């Protein structure tokens, strides 16, 4: 059977999705990146390689996420596209009428506005990571809860509490203040969900029209408290797709399929054996001018396969 693979390497999680010719999902995988993207890719590929039917032939590979260039070099991908394009492609495939996509991941959050299956506008958080998965993780850890239980506890709250959500530093001191004056954990968590959503709508959506149908995806979509807070704020239902946490990978797989069908030819994929290769990245500071660019080299079994990071382009290939 033919299959196409999408790999989404983000700051917090590394996801893989395999789809067939009809974009039906064959296999998905969600693991934590833990700050070591190369190892995460290798582990993920190994797991998937073992799990799938040996008759499956990978015909094309797409990468996405903040480490898309690195993962493209390592696995030999045919396309590398941004998370925004990948998320939009995946969402519009499963929900052709979708108008608004909310996506909250580990380090960034985005809103994508669609019309007739085409992206017409998007925005992404820039200087500040307030209201992303990492902050929720951090708060859950501070309160000694499992992040999985966060949403359920928040929904038990009886009263609404106002938490300052503009900046995580302020949010945290506000939460501590509320906790010291005797508010329950549930109320504080619910307040945090509301604050995060308020911040998202004010700071990222900034005047964009959020029309239904609305889809909410990314790792944070698992948090029921945030979903309910979005529904309250937007006054309409917010849908969460079945594969909400690997939508980026699914999108990358669809893009890879479209690319291969258009271009024809053979995939660049190095095969699941890449897990046996020895990858190493080295970086050095170029001292030839005052820019002092940090150049990165990727070595596969001791052999240089990629190099980037310079401003002037001399460390890269020029053709």
Binding site for other proteins (CB under 8 A): 66, 69, 72-73, 76-85, 108, 118-122, 124, 126-127, 206-208, 255, 258-259, 262, 268, 289-292, 297, 303-308, 311, 313, 316-319
Query: Minimum distance from CB of 76 to other proteins (Å)?
Result: 5
Nearest CB to other proteins, comparing residues 79 and 90 = 79
Name the region of 280 (left: φ>0; alpha: ψ -120 to 50; beta: rest).
beta
Q: What is the DSSP string of 163-185?
A: ---SSHHHHHHHHHHHHHTT--H
The two tokens of residue 106 are 């580990």
Query: Minimum distance from CB of 298 to other proteins (Å)?
Result: 8
Nearest CB to other proteins, comparing residues 108 and 187 = 108
Q: What are phi and psi of 296, to 5 degrees?
A: -115, 135
Query: Minimum distance from CB of 7 to other proteins (Å)?
Result: 12
Nearest CB to other proteins, comparing residues 64 and 223 = 64
Nearest CB to other proteins, comparing residues 176 and 289 = 289
Candidates 194, 193, 217; CA nearest to 111 is 217
Q: CA 273 to CA 246: how far, in whole Å?
A: 23
Query: Minimum distance from CB of 15 to other proteins (Å)?
Result: 17
Q: CA 245 to CA 237: how far, in whole Å?
A: 19
Nearest CB to other proteins, comparing residues 121 and 149 = 121
Q: Per DSSP, which regions of 70-208 are E strands?
A: 79-80, 100-104, 109-115, 118-124
Query: Minimum distance from CB of 319 to other proteins (Å)?
Result: 5
Nearest CB to other proteins, comparing residues 105 and 165 = 105
Query: Minimum distance from CB of 160 to other proteins (Å)?
Result: 30
The dihedral over CA atoms of 286, 292, 298, 299, expressed in degrees to the nearest 10, equals 20
What is the β-pairing status of strands 100-104 and 109-115?
Answer: antiparallel
The two tokens of residue 99 are 């108008």
């Amino acid at each position: 059977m033919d299959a196409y693979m999408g790999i989404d390497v983000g700051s917090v999680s590394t996801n893989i999705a395999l789809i067939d010719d009809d974009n039906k999902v064959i296999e998905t995988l969600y693991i934590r990146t833990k700050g070591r993207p190369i190892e995460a890719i290798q582990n993920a590929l190994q797991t998937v390689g073992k799990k799938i039917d040996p008759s499956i032939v990978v015909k094309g590979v797409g990468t996405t996420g903040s480490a898309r260039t690195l993962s493209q070099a390592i696995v030999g991908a045919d396309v590398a596209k941004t998370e925004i394009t990948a998320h939009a492609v995946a969402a519009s495939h499963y929900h052709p009428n979708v108008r608004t996509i909310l996506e909250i991941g580990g380090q960034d959050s985005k809103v994508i506005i669609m019309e007739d299956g085409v992206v017409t506008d998007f925005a992404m958080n820039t200087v500040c990571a307030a209201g992303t998965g990492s902050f929720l993780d951090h708060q859950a850890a501070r309160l000694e809860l499992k992040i999985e239980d966060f949403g359920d506890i928040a929904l038990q709250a009886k009263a609404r509490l106002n938490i300052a959500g503009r900046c995580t530093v302020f949010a945290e001191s506000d939460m501590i203040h509320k906790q010291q004056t005797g508010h329950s954990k549930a109320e504080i968590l619910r307040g945090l969900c509301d604050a995060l959503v308020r911040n998202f709508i004010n700071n990222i959506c900034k005047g964009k029209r959020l029309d239904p149908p609305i889809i909410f995806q990314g790792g944070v979509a698992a948090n029921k408290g945030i979903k309910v807070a979005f529904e309250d704020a937007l006054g309409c239902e917010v849908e969460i797709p079945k594969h909400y946490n690997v939508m980026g990978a699914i999108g990358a797989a669809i893009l890879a399929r479209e690319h291969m069908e258009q271009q024809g030819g053979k995939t660049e994929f190095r095969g699941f054996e890449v897990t046996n290769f020895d990858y190493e990245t080295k970086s050095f500071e170029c001292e030839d001018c005052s820019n002092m660019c940090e150049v990165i080299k990727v070595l596969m079994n001791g052999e240089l396969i990629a190099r980037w990071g310079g401003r002037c382009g001399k460390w890269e290939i020029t053709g």
